[in-house]
Amino acid sequence: MKTNRLTLLIKGELLRLHKYNVVFISIFIALIWGVVLFFVDSVIFNALLPFLILVDATMMSLMYIGSVMFFEKKESTLSSVLVTPVTNQEIILSKILANTIHNLFSTSLIIIVFIFIKDVKINYILMLLAIILVTAVFTGLGLLLSYFQKDFTTMLTNLMLLMFAFLLPSALYGFGVLKADVWEYILLLNPIQAAQEIIMGGFRAVTLDWKYYFSLGYLIVGGILTYKFLIVPKFNAYAVSISGV
C-alpha cells in the first residue's frame, strides 16, 4: 500500500464531499442542533448533548457514507478507479478515513458551539478518541450496508428502521426508562450502546468503568474483524456490480 496514493484518494474523497454538498449539509445540521440545544434547559441539555454526539457519530456516519456510495453508483465512477493502479484496500480505507475526518469535523462543530455557549466539561483526548473510533466503525458498517442496497431510498428506509431498532433501547436506557440490570449487559452487545459508553467516557464527570473498557475493546476488535472479513472481501463483487459499464 502506497501512502501517498492513499493520501491522494483521501483528498479526492474530501473534495467530493465538498463538491457534492455533503459538507454543507453536515454543517447545516450541526448548526440546527446548536440552535435547538441553545434553548433547552440544562437538565435536558445534559442528557441531550451526549445523545446528539452519538447520533452524529453513528447514524450520520452511515448516512454520509451511504450517500457517497450512491453518488458513485449513479455516475459509475468507481469503475474508473478500478482501472487505475489503486488497490481495493486503498479505495476502502480512503472512503472510511475521509468520512471519519469529515464526521469528526461536523461532530466537533457541535461540541465547540457548546463549549462557547454552555458550560460543558469535556475530556478532549477521550472525546476525540471516542468520536474517531465510533465514526470509523460506523462508516465501515455503512459501507458494508450499502453493498446490499438497491437504491438510495431503500437504503434510507432500511437505515432508519435499523437505527431505530438499535437506538431505541439505548435511548430508553439513557433516559432512564429501562432500568433492569440485565439490560446493562444485553445492551453492551449493541454497537450503538458500546458507542454510547465510550462517548460518555469523554465527559469529564463520568468515571471510566469496566463497561467503558469492554465497549472500547468491542468496537476496536469488532471493527477490525468486520473490515477484514466482510468489508474488504465483499468489496470487489460489489464494485464490479455497480460499475454498470
Residue whose CB is less far from another protein, 16 or 234: 16
Least Cβ distance, residue 15 to another protein (angstroms): 7
> Grid coordinates standing for 53?
454526539
Give the number of C-alpha atoms closer than 13 A to the C-alpha of residue 34, restricted to the C-beta side.
Answer: 18
Check residue 75 for interaction with another protein (CB under 8 A).
yes
CA distance 194 to 189: 7
Q: Is 12 in the site for another protein (CB under 8 A)?
A: yes
Report the nearest approach of another protein to the CB of residue 65 (Å).
17
- The answer to whether 30 touches 110, Cβ cutoff 8 Å, is yes
What is the distance between the alpha carbons of residues 125 and 122, in angstroms, rounded to a whole number? Answer: 9
Rounded to the nearest whole angstrom, what is the least distance from the CB of residue 11 to another protein in the complex? 8
Nearest partner of 201 among 105, 130, 138, 135, judged by Cα: 130
Tell me if 233 contacts another protein by CB under 8 A.
no
Nearest distance, CB of residue 76 and another protein, angstroms: 5
Question: Which position among 28, 80, 115, 154 is part of the footprint of another protein (CB under 8 A)?
Answer: 80
Distance CA 189, CA 218 (A): 8
Interface residue with another protein, options 29, 40, 47, 86 (CB under 8 A)? 86
For the four alpha carbons of 31, 36, 39 and 44, in that order, the dihedral sign comes to negative
> How is residue 40 annotated by DSSP?
S
Q: Which stretch binds another protein (CB under 8 A): 4-12, 37-45, 172-180, 218-226?
A: 4-12
Compare residues 80 and 157 and give the one whose CB is closer to another protein.
80
Residue 148 is a binding residue for another protein (CB under 8 A): no
**Residues that contact another protein, how many (by CB under 8 A):** 26
Residue 82 lies near another protein (rule: CB under 8 A): yes
Q: Closest separation between CB of residue 231 and another protein, Å?
A: 18
- Measured CA to CA, the distance from residue 215 to residue 197 in angstroms comes to 7
User: Residue 70 and residue 126: Cα distance in Å, rounded?
Assistant: 33
Nearer Cβ to another protein (81/220): 81
154 contributes a contact to another protein by CB under 8 A: no
Q: Which is nearer to another protein, 86 or 178 (CB)?
A: 86
| Distance, CA of 206 to CA of 198 (rounded, Å) | 10
Residue whose C-alpha is closest to residue 57's, from 30, 95, 90: 30
Q: Which is nearer to another protein, 73 or 211 (CB)?
A: 73
Q: Is 19 in the site for another protein (CB under 8 A)?
A: yes
- Under 8 Å between Cβ of 101 and 10: yes
Q: Which is nearer to another protein, 217 or 233 (CB)?
A: 233
